[in-house]
Copies of this chain bind each other. A is one copy, B any other.
């Protein structure tokens, strides 16, 4: 089964909105063994829309459209679909009742434009949208399928999960592919390739595909094959061997995140963590608490941005901070931050960061991108100097990931090795 995704919206082409919908849909389709073959982004312009829909229906079995549905006036999708499928808009009682209830539940006034959302093409199967007022619409056309959904991500996800995915599984025989993805932190693509050179040749010789998927601070390694029992076992074995070549870097599989992995380790051990952040300004704590249930192992933390607060809140020696040979971005300071914050918060681990996120504030001896990270625990304190890059956002992101991975290594006793 071939799937084509069409994302409608000037805002996507103008770069005012990032197309996260298409990637989510690609991932959801992959899970049921359906291949997203093409993703297309187009304007909400009649000629382009008709042309794209027509081309897509000629090369794919299933066409999934998002966007161009909503209460405000910039939407023309429904009209175009009526034209293409020779259909007309009729008021749908179920949709109208839902829209009415939607507004009542929120104590909001229902407007005329919202009533219009209950007008739907008569040839479409209507897919209920629990989280919004624009329903999904499923068209059968010459043995192929076209589904139109709103572009609001969580509304589209609801309609996909509740309706489209099960309906596609019922309609098509899907030949599944199997994918495994190893997550690594703190080692570059080229260095992984060098380290697993022989293994990589073995993997390719076995007929499997291997891809490197880098993002700042992380590289994911994905191996894929047809989904058979033997292939699954063979890939699992290869993955374990890759993992063994880099225990300090390989932290999980598939959608694992460092914050979830670290959270699970802490909960299993009945341990807690606190953070004492300078250059990351709370971003490490925010990552840790992005996981539901983080209160099991996280009671609170400090952002000590100024020197004064490093001293006042977590007891860093003022004399070190003033010393031009030591200063705020130094091993001494970051270790004192980790130790002081850990004590103050009565936590098992204290993770501290102090660095120069940039783009200004660098010097010859401490260029932008210099970040000291320390983890204080029951075995004393481990610290590391990192040299990242010139971009503030990426420096913060890489600092957060590196800190979480050093915490993971500390919990697992890997840092001193």
Contacts and interface: CB of A to CB of B under 8 A. Distances in A.
A264 interface: no
Interface string A87-118: 00000000000000000000010010110000
A125 interface: no
Interface stretch (A67-75, A77-85, A230-238): A67-75
A210 B73 CA distance: 9
Interface string A285-323: 110111011110011111111101100010000000000
Interface in A147-180: 152, 154, 179
A343 interface: no
A194 B30 contact: no
Contacts of A10: 211
B154 A391 contact: yes
Interface string A17-43: 111101111111110000111111111
A34 B408 CA distance: 47
A139 interface: no
B30 A15 contact: yes
Nearest to A31: B15
Contact of A40 (B12, B20, B38, B193): B38
A48 B40 CA distance: 14
B290 A17 contact: no
Interface in A51-70: 70
Contacts of A212: 70, 72, 74
A214 interface: yes
Tell me if A's interface is mostly helix, strand, loop or mixed: mixed
Interface string A190-221: 11011000001000100001111111000010
A109 to B, nearest CB: 8
Contact of A15 (B17, B25, B113): B25
A14 interface: yes
Contact of A38 (B42, B72, B200): B42
Copies of this chain in its oligomeric complex: 2
A13 B60 CA distance: 14
A317 B222 CA distance: 52
Nearest to A204: B73
Contacts of A48: 37
Contacts of A286: 280-283, 285-286, 396
B222 A11 contact: yes
A360 interface: yes
A140 interface: no
Contacts of A37: 13, 43, 48
Contacts of A190: 71-72, 108, 111, 113-114
A281 B305 contact: no
A48 B309 CA distance: 58
User: Of A275, A305, A309, which is in contact with the most chain B CB atoms at under 10 Å from its CB?
Assistant: A305
A281 B288 contact: yes
B15 A18 contact: no
B16 A18 contact: no
Contacts of A42: 38-39
B359 A292 contact: yes
6 contacts: A14-B26, A17-B213, A154-B391, A154-B394, A289-B303, A298-B305
Interface of A: 7, 10-20, 22-30, 35-43, 48, 70-74, 108, 111, 113-114, 152, 154, 179, 181, 189-191, 193-194, 200, 204, 209-215, 220, 222, 275, 277, 280-286, 288-290, 292-295, 298-306, 308-309, 313, 345, 357-360, 391-394, 396
